[in-house]
Amino acid sequence: MTASYRSFAQQSAHYMDRPHIGAPTKPIKNAAAWYGPDIEADASQWSYRLTTSESTEIYDAIVRLREANTELGAVTRENFFLPTLASQIKAWRQDIMEGFGLKLIRGLPVKEWSYDEVCYAFWGLGHHLGIPGAQNPDNELLGHVKDYGETADNPFVRLYRTASHIRYHCDACDIVGLLCLQPAVSGGASRVVSTVTLFNELMSVHPDLASRVCEPFRLDRRGETKPGQLPYSMVSPAQFANGKLQTFYHSDYFRSIERHENLVLTDAEKTILDFYDERGLSPELYLDMQLESGDIQFLSNHTIAHSRTAYTDHEDPEKQRHLLRLWLSAE
């Protein structure tokens, strides 16, 4: 059986293949350069509620696949047939890749469907948005974002496996999707900020550093190395071409390079990281989304950085916060 998804290496390489002609010399003005309060005022611009008939259409596609004994990894856009919703999903994709960079889909009936049915629904919708991909070298297709009781101060622990605050970052894929199965008791807001706006703000305050954002930083590999590899890779946070700024930002991984002997951040690198982290926490810039059961958040990792506030969970394991994560290449 030929896999209908990309490997982790293929998807990461596709995402990082960003055109660059040189750093911008003036602020970027397009739909991706938004401020949180401005777009929060009209959520209809970036959110969509599924109708009953659309949910039924998704469920019918699941039933057909299950009856044919189709495995999750063999699902395709063609066999996850959505006769009317497919055109609507194209509009979502346009909003994500050419608009604000985000789309919140509400109303998937996760409480009425089995866990396996929900997984098929999420994976199938992903195929209509792009090409799904593995999220790590272990070929994990749907990630589980929940608290496993791990320690947040361990550099080898992935913070999505804790209930701690997660700093702004982008994932190594064009689009990341999060489907909420169960929210926390309190906290756990998904906080998003426009990396285009952050760049414009940096250019205003530190014009001398704007070009440095488009040059390589050292990104900690966090132990994911092969024999003979350096403990870091060189990644330029931002690349600019054809009027578009595409950003890969990962505060923790850029900063943790200093855990290695004789490796330190330069003053310019530290100023840039501090500015992005601190300015991104301004209510003037960010947008908070409190995901509820059945909500699906899709974000462009080229124009949006996302973070998460710390949260308090239920004592009952069956009611604890649990999100599914999906990575997509947009082509």
Which tens digit of pLDDT belongs to each residue from 28-54?
A: 999 999 999 999 999 999 999 999 999
**What sign does the dihedral 141-147-152-157 (CA atoms) show?**
negative
pLDDT for 224 beyond 80:
no
**Residue 1 resides in a domain:** no
- Determine the residue type at 217: F
- Among residues 299, 208, 215, 200, the alpha carbon closest in space to that of 254 is found at 215
Res 3: pLDDT: 63
Q: 268-314: per-residue pLDDT in tens?
A: 999 999 999 999 999 999 999 999 999 999 999 999 999 999 999 99
> Does 254 fall in a domain?
yes
Q: Is residue 240 very low, low, confident or very high in pLDDT (cuts 50, 70, 90)?
A: very high
Domain of residue 106: give its range. 8-19+28-329
Two tokens, residue 191? 């906080």
Identify whether the C-beta of residue 190 lies closer than 8 Å to the C-beta of residue 325: no
Domain assignment of residue 3, yes or no: no
Sequence-distant (6+) residues with CB within 8 A of 97 are: 174, 175, 300, 330
- 103 contacts 96 by C-beta, under 8 angstroms: yes
**Does the pTM of the predicted model rise above 0.85?**
yes
CA end-to-end span of the chain, whole Å?
Answer: 22
Give SS3 for 166: strand
**What is the per-residue pLDDT across 147-168, written as a single tens digit (0 to 9) for each?**
888 877 776 678 888 888 999 9
CA distance 12 to 7: 9
In a domain, 236, yes or no: yes
pLDDT value, residue 1: 43
Lowest mean pLDDT among 44-48, 136-140, 245-249, 317-321: 136-140
Name the phi and psi angles at 109, rounded to 5. -80, 70
Yes or no: say if 309 and 165 are a contact pair by the CB < 8 Å rule: yes
Domain holding 312: CATH number? 3.60.130.10
Q: How far apart are CA 273 and CA 313, in angstroms?
A: 30
Mean pLDDT of 129-143: 91
Interstrand relation of 47-49 and 102-106 (parallel, antiparallel or unpaired): parallel
CA angle 96, 176, 129 (to 5 degrees): 55
- Residue 311 domain flag: yes
Instruction: DSSP letter for 208, please.
Output: G
In-domain check, residue 301: yes
Residue closest to 247 by CA, chosen among 257, 237, 255: 237
Q: Write the DSSP assignment of 144-156 as a string of letters.
A: EES--S--TT-TT
52-67 vs 115-129: helix axis angle to the nearest 10?
A: 100
Total domain count, the chain: 1
pLDDT recorded at residue 252: 92
User: What is the distance between the alpha carbons of residues 85 and 55, in angstroms, rounded to a whole number?
Assistant: 9
β-strand partners of 239: 246
Residue 101 lies in a domain: yes
Structural domain includes residue 182: yes
Chain segment 184-198, per-residue pLDDT in tens:
999 999 999 999 999
Torsion over CA of 307, 310, 314 and 319, rounded to 10 degrees? 0
Strand ranges in the chain using DSSP code E only, listed in sequence order: 47-49, 102-106, 131-133, 143-145, 166-169, 175-182, 186-187, 190-194, 217-220, 232-235, 238-241, 244-247, 287-289, 296-300, 304-308, 311-312, 322-329
Q: What's residue 150's pLDDT?
A: 83
Helices (H), 78-179: 85-98, 115-129
Longest dimension (CA), the chain: 61
